[in-house]
């Protein structure tokens, strides 16, 4: 595995675990893509380019010989040079011209992986984990240096890509777009899988056939958004969970993005992904550099499931950092759905006392503890404890909770400001706005300008003071609206369009400070639920609140879609009240527990008002969680059911890396009359091993469980659940 360069053929070959990726440097020093897919031994795949086959092709580029930029499989596409497909790079020079053409100059190959300045990215735990290739290119007319960066992970089917630009000229250049990856596939016969939704209905799976023209998913909201996720899979039409080819693309970025597949006139497909060029412009002064975010590319020859498990392994081991990277997370209870804004010290201690008796390990105090915050119209930005509610102060509350044996966590919304706040009255210019235009509020709040150092210093200073004042061991970082009227009062006119990206760099800067200054704190990010569930956030927070909709049945689709790319260990999942606060559905306590156990696990209800039966259910759920969490958190995840294709049931399973243990979870969504038992086929087991069902004592061959299947016992009623724990014997 690793990276090779065939000097005689001028071919780069990148080999991941079972994956090969090849491209060629032409005589004219252009980079042409040759192959991406299952591992091949040969290096010389030059014949795949079919150079010279075209007898007549419009827009032939003289420097490339008898080949057209309009159909050439370019390794990194640029604008204005006879390639009429989607470009990755577009710049504007001092004369207002936007043509750009890059050519190979040199390269270097080295062990390990570089950081990207100011941005989250995957990393090597040791240099031998991966190898990196940097291709130095140049636009000679502009004297613009373009570095294409590839990293190959040796033990995973993963190749990452990013781009670095440097203005080596004496004149200012404006970057109009800079996407991070470009692949020209030799077919249009693929399906495109994306994750779409809205608030409380995030990351639903959407699959459709590629067609001629452009199909894209994007965000122009300043955040990755509830509606479309920065993830795309291009799969063969026959691809299922277990068979077929799948190419997965995940952008490690939390702001506005674009992912686009274009079916071309020659029955090929171009795929590009990166920063959204909408309303984007970056002034690149002489000598200055710009680094684009990273795209993770995963190839699977064994269906969508293998693609997902590769993403899970990569993100668990090479993206998530800190104290909680590899350990069990505390079982928490959040007071939001229990009290909303109506709480004080006494109420929180009552919840903590009852929670401690049940085996819950952490109390999280949500929105409403600061400023003059009794509803969602005031107080954001005033991160000062409201001692009318928190009587005796925060330190006293935390100490009382700690005495009960619970850890303590706290909620912030650092990126937001309420017009009715002391901070806004003192600094009305600190929010993102366009001078003279009406400032659009959402949820009665505006967005602070995180591109400004003075704003970040003030907000983080308040947060740091709070977090240093007591034994706080968890932070929920929320963001409940997205950005409008994008503008500020600091940047000059020719840099105003940089604000989209500068905002995100500012947020990342604050997150890096928080995780550096308080490495013991478990950080969970949130954005109105799952509105910023992306790989960029996982670099700072090992878990993300998956959705504000905690209804167990709605969560089946949300968690299924999320699992296509993100590990279940990152999904914030809680048992909430019934009827559910959002959809009004009544579900059994047991089922709510089994669905939440897929994620980080916790509670979102008022335990002081529960019946003794429900309290006993909590005790049993916590025993189950403790028993299975190591397997759930570190094992391989297999989807058995599909809640988008079958409304009757859903099922999934976890298999230990050494195949010694497995946990199967089954949810009967709708009861079907005259169907007493349901058979499901398991996955991922050792076919030569024998497994014992812990509950029944029955012993089965691994091949039997995967080929013949196992029976789910009769479950009476809708929304019922059943689990099967298997141990190798």
Residue among 626, 636, 578, 622 at smallest CA distance from 604? 578
Structure tokens at 322: 């800190």
**Which pair of tokens denotes residue 555?**
């969560």
- Is-catalytic flag, 548? yes
Compute the mean pLDDT over every residue in the chain, rounded to the nearest whole number.
95
Selecting among 83, 157, 184, 478, the annotated active-site residue is 478
- Which residue out of 129, 548, 549, 650 is catalytically annotated? 548
CA-closest candidate to residue 601, choices 527, 660, 534, 524: 524
531 has a pLDDT exceeding 90: yes
H or E stretch including 291?
Answer: strand 289-291
- Sequence ranges of the domains in the chain: 2-318, 332-413+451-479+519-634, 649-728
Give yes or no for residue 68 having a pLDDT over 80.
Answer: no
Lookup result for tokens 């696990």:
601
2-318 under CATH 1.10.10.410, yes or no: no
Please tell me the distance from the alpha carbon of residue 463 to that of residue 457, in angstroms, as a whole number.
Answer: 10
Per-position DSSP letters for 412-455, written without gaps between them: E-TTEE-SBSHHHHH-GGGB---TTS----BTTBEEB-TT-HHH
Q: Of 567, 632, 573, 570, nearest to 602 (Cα)?
A: 573
Instruction: Quick: pLDDT tens for 245-284.
Output: 999 999 999 999 999 999 999 899 999 999 999 999 999 9
Query: What are the structure tokens assigned to 338, written together?
Result: 């229990």
Q: Are strands 690-693 and 362-365 parallel, antiparallel or unpaired?
A: unpaired
- For the question of residue 27 being annotated catalytic, the response is no
Does the pTM of the predicted model rise above 0.85? yes
Query: Do you find a cis peptide bond into 727, omega within 30 degrees of 0?
Result: no
Asked if residues 694 and 710 have their Cβ atoms less than 8 Å apart, the reply is no
Instruction: Report the pLDDT averaged over residues 22-28.
Output: 94
Question: At 6, which helix (H) or strand (E)?
Answer: strand 2-6
* pLDDT tens profile 318-353: 999 999 999 999 999 999 999 999 999 999 999 999
Buried b or exposed e, range 216-244, using 16+ CB within 10 angstroms: bbbbbbbbbbbbbbbbbbbbbeebebeeb
Check residue 46 and give its pLDDT: 84
Cα end-to-end distance, the chain, whole Å: 35
- β-bridge partners, 249: 232, 297
Can 2-318 and 649-728 be said to share one CATH topology?
A: no
Give the pLDDT confidence of 451-483 residue by residue, as tens digits: 999 999 999 999 999 999 999 999 999 999 999
CB 381 within 8 A of CB 417: yes
CATH number of 649-728: 2.60.40.1180
State whether CATH 3.20.20.70 applies to domain 332-413+451-479+519-634.
yes
Tens-place pLDDT, residues 347-391 = 999 999 999 999 999 999 999 999 999 999 999 999 999 999 999
Scored b (16 or more CB within 10 A) or e, 662-684 reads bbbbbbbbeeeeeeeebebebbb
């Amino acid at each position: 595995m690793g990276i090779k360069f065939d000097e005689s053929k001028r071919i780069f070959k990148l080999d991941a675990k079972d994956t090969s990726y090849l491209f060629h440097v032409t005589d004219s020093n252009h980079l042409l893509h040759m192959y991406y897919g299952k591992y091949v031994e040969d290096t010389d795949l030059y014949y795949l380019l079919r150079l010279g086959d075209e007898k007549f092709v419009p827009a032939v580029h003289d420097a490339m010989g008898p080949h057209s930029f309009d159909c050439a499989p370019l390794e990194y596409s640029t604008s204005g040079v006879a390639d009429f497909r989607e470009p990755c790079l577009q710049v504007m020079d001092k004369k207002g011209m936007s043509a750009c053409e890059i050519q190979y100059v040199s390269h270097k190959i080295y062990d390990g992986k570089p950081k990207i300045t100011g941005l989250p990215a995957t990393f090597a735990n040791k240099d031998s984990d991966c190898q990196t290739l940097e291709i130095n290119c140049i636009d000679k007319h502009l004297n613009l240096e373009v570095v294409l960066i590839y990293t190959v992970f040796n033990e995973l089917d993963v190749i990452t890509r990013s781009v670095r630009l440097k203005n080596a000229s004496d004149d200012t250049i404006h970057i109009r777009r800079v996407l991070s990856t470009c692949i020209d596939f030799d077919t249009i016969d693929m399906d495109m899988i994306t994750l779409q939704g809205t608030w409380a209905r995030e990351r639903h799976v959407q699959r459709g056939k590629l067609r001629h023209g452009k199909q894209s998913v994007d965000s122009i909201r300043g955040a990755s958004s509830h509606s479309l996720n920065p993830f795309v899979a291009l799969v063969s039409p026959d691809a299922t969970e277990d068979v077929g080819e799948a190419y997965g693309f995940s952008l490690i970025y939390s702001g506005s993005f674009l992912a686009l597949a274009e079916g071309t006139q020659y029955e090929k497909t171009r795929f590009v992904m990166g920063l959204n060029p909408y309303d984007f412009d970056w002034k690149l002064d002489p000598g200055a550099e710009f680094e684009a975010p990273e795209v993770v590319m995963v190839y699977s020859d064994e269906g969508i499931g293998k693609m997902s498990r590769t993403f899970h392994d990569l993100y668990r081991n090479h993206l998530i950092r800190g104290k909680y990277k590899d350990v069990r997370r505390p079982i928490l209870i959040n007071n939001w759905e229990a009290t909303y804004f109506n709480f004080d010290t006494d109420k929180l201690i009552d919840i903590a006392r009852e929670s401690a008796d049940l085996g819950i390990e952490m109390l999280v105090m949500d929105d409403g503890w600061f400023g003059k915050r009794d509803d969602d119209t005031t107080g954001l930005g005033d991160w000062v404890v409201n001692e009318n509610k928190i009587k005796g102060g925060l330190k006293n509350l935390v100490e009382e909770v700690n005495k009960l044996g619970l850890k303590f966590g706290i909620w912030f919304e650092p990126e937001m400001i309420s017009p009715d706040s002391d901070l806004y009255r003192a600094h009305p210019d600190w929010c993102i706005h366009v001078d003279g235009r009406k400032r659009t509020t959402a949820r009665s709040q505006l967005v602070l300008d995180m591109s400004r150092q003075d704003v970040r210093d003030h907000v983080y200073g308040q947060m740091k003071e709070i977090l240093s004042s007591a034994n706080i061991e968890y932070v929920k970082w929320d963001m409940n609206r997205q950005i409008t009227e994008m503008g500020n009062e600091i940047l000059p006119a020719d840099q105003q369009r940089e604000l989209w990206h500068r905002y995100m760099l500012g947020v990342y800067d604050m997150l890096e400070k928080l995780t550096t200054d308080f490495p013991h704190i478990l950080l969970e990010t949130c954005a109105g639920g799952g509105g910023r569930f992306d790989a960029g956030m996982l670099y700072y927070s090992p878990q993300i609140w998956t959705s504000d909709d905690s209804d167990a049945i709605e969560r089946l689709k949300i968690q299924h879609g999320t699992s296509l790319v993100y590990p279940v260990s990152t999904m914030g999942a809680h048992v909430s009240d019934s009827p559910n606060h959002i959809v009004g559905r009544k579900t059994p306590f047991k089922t709510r527990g089994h669905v939440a156990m897929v994620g980080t696990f916790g509670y979102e209800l008022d335990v002081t008002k529960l019946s003794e039966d429900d309290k006993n259910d909590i005790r049993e759920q916590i025993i189950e969680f403790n028993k299975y969490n190591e397997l759930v958190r570190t094992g391989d995840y297999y989807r058995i059911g599909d809640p988008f294709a079958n409304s009757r049931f859903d099922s999934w399973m976890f298999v230990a890396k050494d195949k010694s243990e497995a946990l199967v979870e089954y949810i009967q969504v709708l009861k079907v009359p005259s169907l007493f038992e349901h058979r499901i086929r398991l996955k991922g087991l050792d076919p030569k091993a024998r497994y014992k069902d812990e509950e029944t004592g029955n012993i089965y061959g691994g091949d039997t469980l995967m080929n013949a299947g196992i029976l789910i016992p009769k479950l009476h009623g809708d929304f019922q659940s059943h689990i099967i724990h298997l141990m190798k014997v």
